[in-house]
């Protein structure tokens, strides 16, 4: 019953829309479209078994990844810009997505991975709930840019088992400059605190992650000092209660070449330096990704 109430509360946030910190308050139930380019109906670009996620999410067959179209952030370097910014994708109903979710489980997915779905949280959780009623057993992952409202996380807690947030910047200024949002760092840190408090790490009897938080940090060229700050912030706030995934595979796509700091991939020397920084930080649970 609690999750039905949570679903109703999520739908209330849809119109006027207050689902993300932008609070643009458009009436999406009346087909108005927000800053995220999203109206009432969900749009996805793909749904498939995906082995590119971190090891505890992938297991043997891969994560059941659902890539949602559109996004409330407008990051100039977005690595998924074709569907996050250029609106590529197809409209899908709650019922159709529930069938896709069950199909991913039948194919052996380790979990259902909602990739950047904040702007469709009510509809996506309605699909998840319908799939649960129809027998879905595997955990649900909320794969997010991190820029989330605490009241939305409280509601998502009724459905989601594993949070997979980014920490994109270590100050608010970079959020304004590269993603055009205010207070990215402050809002995301508060969101992370609530996620960690809500979902302590738990494994199942086979040693697979069934609940917890994995924080991702994408390293930008010329910004290795920010990695040091990010690891310090994460250590100070969460110690060893989270997994940390440091990613070095940045490529300058979309509008990134218009920004001097973001106009290239990491050099070999920078990647070697990343390894050193991570070693010094003594992360207990985590990885460095290279591509
Ligand atoms: S989810 Fe979209 S419509 Fe809703 S507040 Fe955010 S940007 Fe606006």
Q: Are 80 and 104 in contact (CB under 8 A)?
A: no
Helix (H, G, I), strand (E, B) or coil at 115: strand
Question: Is the distance from the beta carbon of residue 204 to the nearest atom of ligand 1 less than 6 Å?
Answer: no
**Average pLDDT of the chain to the nearest whole number:** 95
Distance 100 CA to ligand 1 centre (A): 25
94 alpha carbon to ligand 1 midpoint, in Å?
A: 19
Q: What percent of the chain has pLDDT over 70?
A: 99
CB 228 within 8 A of CB 269: no
Mean pLDDT over 63-82 rounds to: 96
Ligand 1 atom, smallest distance to 25 CA? 5
pLDDT surpasses 70 at 81 = yes
Please state the rounded mean pLDDT for residues 75-93: 94
What pLDDT is recorded for position 142?
98
**Which tokens in the block code for residue 189?**
């840190």
User: What per-residue confidence (pLDDT) applies to 1?
Assistant: 60
The residue whose CB lies within 8 Å of the most ligand 1 atoms, and thus the one to mutate among 19, 21, 117, 180, is 19
Q: Could you tell me the two tokens for 29?
A: 């139930």
Helix (H) or strand (E) holding 46: strand 42-50
Q: Over range 218-226, report the average pLDDT.
A: 96
Residue 199 has pLDDT above 70, yes or no: yes
Angle between helices 184-198 and 224-238 (to 10 degrees): 40
Q: Rounded to the nearest whole angstrom, what is the distance from the C-alpha of residue 111 to the centroid of ligand 1?
A: 26
Cis peptide before 16 (omega within 30 of 0): yes
Q: What separation, in Å, do the N-terminal and C-terminal C-alpha atoms of the chain show?
A: 43
Q: 232-239, long-range: CB within 8 Å, 24+ apart, which pairs?
A: 232/281, 233/167, 233/170, 233/189, 234/167, 235/281, 235/283, 237/189, 237/192, 237/193, 237/196, 238/192, 238/196, 238/213
Q: pLDDT at residue 231 above 90?
A: yes
Give the model's pLDDT for residue 31. Answer: 87
Alpha carbons 105 and 135: distance in angstroms, whole number: 10
pLDDT, tens digit (0-9, with 9 covering 90-100), for 7-16: 999 999 999 9
Give the atom of ligand 1 at the shortest distance from the alpha carbon of 14: 4
Kindly report, residue by residue over 147-160, the tens digit of the pLDDT. Answer: 999 999 999 999 99
Q: Tally Cβ neighbours within 10 Å of residue 17.
A: 24
- Residue 38 Cβ inside 6 Å of ligand 1? The answer reads yes
> So what's the pLDDT on residue 207?
72
Tokens coding 104: 């991913």
Residue 88 near residue 46 (C-beta atoms within 8 A) = no
Structural domains of the chain, ranges and CATH numbers in brackets: 2-289 (3.20.20.70)
Q: What is the pLDDT of residues 109-129, one digit of tens each?
A: 999 999 999 999 999 999 999
3-state secondary structure of 202: strand
More confident residue, 209 or 106: 106
Does residue 72 line the site of ligand 1, with CB under 6 A? yes
Predicted confidence at residue 2, as pLDDT, reads 83
Nearest protein CA to atom 5 of ligand 1, as residue = 23
pLDDT at 291 over 70: no
Identify the CA nearest to 98 among candidates 127, 126, 77: 127
**Mean pLDDT (whole number) for 207-235:** 95
Contact 137, 105 (CB under 8 A): yes
Residues near 18 by beta carbon (within 8 Å), at least 6 away in sequence: 25, 149
Enumerate residues 6+ apart whose C-beta is below 8 A from 200.
211, 212, 241
Residue 289 has a pLDDT of 83
Question: What six digits make up the tokens of 281?
Answer: 């930080």
Q: What's the rounded Cα separation, in Å, for the pair 182 and 179?
A: 9
**DSSP labels for 219-254?**
PPTT-HHHHHHHHHHHHHHHTTSSEEEEE------T
Reported as a pLDDT band with limits 50, 70 and 90, residue 205 is confident
Would the CB of 188 count as within 6 Å of ligand 1? no
Q: Which atom of ligand 1 is nearest to the CA of 33?
A: 3
Give Cα 75 to chain centroid, integer Å.
Answer: 14
């Amino acid at each position: 019953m609690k999750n039905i109430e949570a679903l109703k509360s999520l739908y209330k946030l849809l119109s006027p829309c207050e689902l993300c910190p932008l609070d643009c308050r458009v009436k999406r139930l009346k087909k108005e479209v927000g800053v995220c380019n999203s109206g009432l109906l969900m749009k996805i670009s793909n749904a498939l078994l995906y082995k590119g996620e971190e090891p505890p999410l992938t297991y043997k067959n891969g994560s059941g990844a659902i890539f949602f179209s559109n996004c409330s952030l407008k990051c100039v370097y977005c690595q998924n810009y074709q569907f996050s910014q250029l609106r590529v994708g197809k409209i899908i109903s709650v019922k159709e997505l529930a069938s896709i979710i069950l199909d991913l489980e039948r194919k052996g997915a380790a979990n259902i991975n909602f990739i950047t779905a904040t702007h469709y949280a009510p509809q996506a959780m309605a699909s998840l709930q319908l799939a649960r009623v129809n027998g879905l057993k595997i955990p649900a992952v909320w794969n997010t840019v991190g820029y989330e409202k605490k009241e939305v996380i409280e509601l998502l807690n009724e459905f989601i088992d594993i949070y997979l947030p980014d920490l994109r910047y270590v100050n608010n200024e970079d959020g304004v400059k590269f993603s055009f949002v205010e207070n990215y760092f402050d809002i995301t840190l508060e969101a992370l605190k609530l996620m960690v408090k809500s979902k302590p790490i738990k494994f199942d009897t086979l040693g697979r992650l069934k609940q917890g938080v994995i924080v991702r940090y994408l390293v930008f060229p010329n910004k290795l000092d920010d990695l040091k700050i990010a690891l310090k912030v994460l250590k100070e706030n969460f110690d060893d209660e989270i997994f940390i995934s440091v990613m070095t595979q940045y490529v300058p796509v979309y509008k990134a070449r218009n920004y001097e700091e973001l106009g290239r991939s990491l050099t070999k020397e920078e990647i070697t330096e990343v390894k050193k920084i991570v070693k010094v930080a003594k992360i207990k649970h985590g990885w460095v990704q290279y591509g």
